Amino acid sequence: MAKNGEILEELRQIRRLLEPKPAPSPAPAKGLWAEFIDFISKYKVMGIAVAFILGLYLGTLVQALVNDLIMPIIEFATGGVAWETIEVGPFRIGHFIGSVITFLIVAFVIFLIVKVSKKWGIE
């Protein structure tokens, strides 16, 4: 008989677990300003904005490095021919080569920044 009582008690516990629970009450409504502050802090918008702006200016700096320092060396090595004026038919090969060099330098600078920041423990 004790076994039947244990079974009944177990079934009662299962029934209590299966009964629907009342829906949780909705969170109190926040004001627009509070939602905006939550958005800024949750998605780290300020950090993203700072990184984006610095990235733009880093790109400008590297572009100036390529156009003002590296390409004149290439022009000197090619016998004074302006690199941007090199064309093959309708294709501006010189401008493309300059863009490729700029890209490679930007990628290398970003690689160095990431490498140094990891070394310093900055994620």
For the stretch 97-116, pLDDT in tens is 888 888 888 788 788 888 88
Q: How far is CA 8 from CA 2, 12, 69, in A?
A: 10, 6, 87
Q: Give the global pTM.
A: 0.49
Q: Is 88 helix (H, G, I), strand (E, B) or coil?
A: strand
Rounded CA separation 91/102 (Å): 19
For the stretch 18-48, pLDDT in tens is 888 887 777 777 788 888 888 888 888 888 8
Write down the residue that tokens 């690199």 correspond to. Answer: 83
For the stretch 10-20, pLDDT in tens is 888 888 888 88
Sorted by sequence, the CB contacts under 8 Å of residue 62 that are 6+ apart come out as 102, 105, 106, 109
From the list 117, 109, 22, 118, the residue with the least C-alpha distance to 58 is 109
